Amino acid sequence: MTSNASSSSLSRPRRVLLKISGESFCPENDRGVSMDSVNHLAAQIVDVAQSGVQIAVVMGGGNILRGAQFKAANSSIQEATAHYMGMLATVINGLALQDAIEAQGQPTRLMTALPMDVVAEPYIRRRAQRHLEKGRVVILAGGTGSPFVTTDTAAAQRALELEADVILKATKVDGIYSEDPKKNPNATFYSELTYEDAIRQNLRVMDSEAFAKCAEHNMPIMVFNFREPDNFKKAVQGEHVGTIVRSAKN
Ligand code: UDP
């Protein structure tokens, strides 16, 4: 079920879908946008983009607002409204990431699933593909444009339609454990899992809908710690960092 062999790494991807949670945009236990954190992420993205790997980033928004949590704390808001607020939060993050990446000399395009012509291009699949082919980092904000799901679903959806080789899910932990390692220091770390293992053990890799979509289409997912310098670069160079989830056949 698990393996630590470096031979189990992914072959070098040509195009990756990087899913960044909003929590990477601020220090631990904080909220909002800290440009120090964003610049740190941007530097890693620029480094990889300049090595020739095509990068589409799906931006989260949890550092600002998550729809389900906001609804739970505020009975006067409709749940759909809260989710749209969450989608707008991802646009705020996307704008910050765009400037941070471009300040480091790398061209980008910000595309939103919710049309917002004054600040970003609308998401059009074929246009996004052209941007990627031209070496621009494509930042995808606004999630799927539909409420009641999270940006994990957007990541699965965009990875499939943009024909990414892998979803790289950047988190604040080293990968997937049998339990929360903060609550149980003896939790088992998995360096490799099949989709079936993850489902059988009820391990939350992504939202269940997003995960099912990846499993159905055999889209590999690598979960890794973005706070460790060079992890992103190592992952695209074919090194095994974090946890890889994929079909047993690969
Ligand atoms: N959201 C949505 N539809 C989408 C993507 C996101 O309604 O397609 C909303 C949802 O409320 C979500 C919020 O936007 O909680 C912010 O996204 P997410 O929670 O995925 O951010 P992350 O946890 O990755 O920072």
> What pLDDT digit, counting tens, does each position of 97-115 carry?
999 999 999 999 999 999 9
Looking from the CA of 62 toward its CB, the CA atoms found within 13 Å total: 18
CA distance 165 to 38: 25
Asked whether 17 and 155 are in contact (CB, 8 A), the reply is yes
User: 39 CA distance to ligand 1 centroid (A)?
Assistant: 22
| Vertex 141 angle, CA 129 and 145, to 5° | 95
Judge if the beta carbon of residue 98 lies within 6 A of ligand 1. no
Ligand 1 atom closest to the Cα of residue 83 is 11
Which atom of ligand 1 lies nearest, measured to the CA of 144?
A: 8
**Residue 227: per-residue pLDDT:** 85
C-beta of 149 in contact with ligand 1 (< 6 A): yes
Residue 45 has pLDDT above 50, yes or no: yes
Taking 50 as the threshold, does the pLDDT of residue 2 lie above it?
no
CA distance 18 to 232: 9
Tell me, using a 6 A CB cutoff, whether residue 89 lines ligand 1: yes
67 lines ligand 1 (CB under 6 A): yes
Most ligand 1 atoms within 8 A of CB, residue of 18, 88, 151 to mutate: 151
Regarding the beta carbon of 54 and ligand 1, being less than 6 Å apart is answered no
* Strand partners for 176: 190
In the chain, the domains with their CATH numbers are 2-167+174-246 (3.40.1160.10)
Helix (H) or strand (E) holding 137: strand 137-141
Expressed in angstroms and rounded, the spacing between residue 113 Cα and the centre of ligand 1 is: 12
Give distance in angstroms: CA of 79 to centre of ligand 1.
12
Ligand 1: atom nearest CA of 153 is 8
Region 209-217 average pLDDT: 94
**Quick one: average pLDDT of 228-239?**
90
Selection from 177, 169, 173 nearest residue 222 by Cα: 169
Backbone angles phi, psi at 29, to 5 degrees: 60, 20
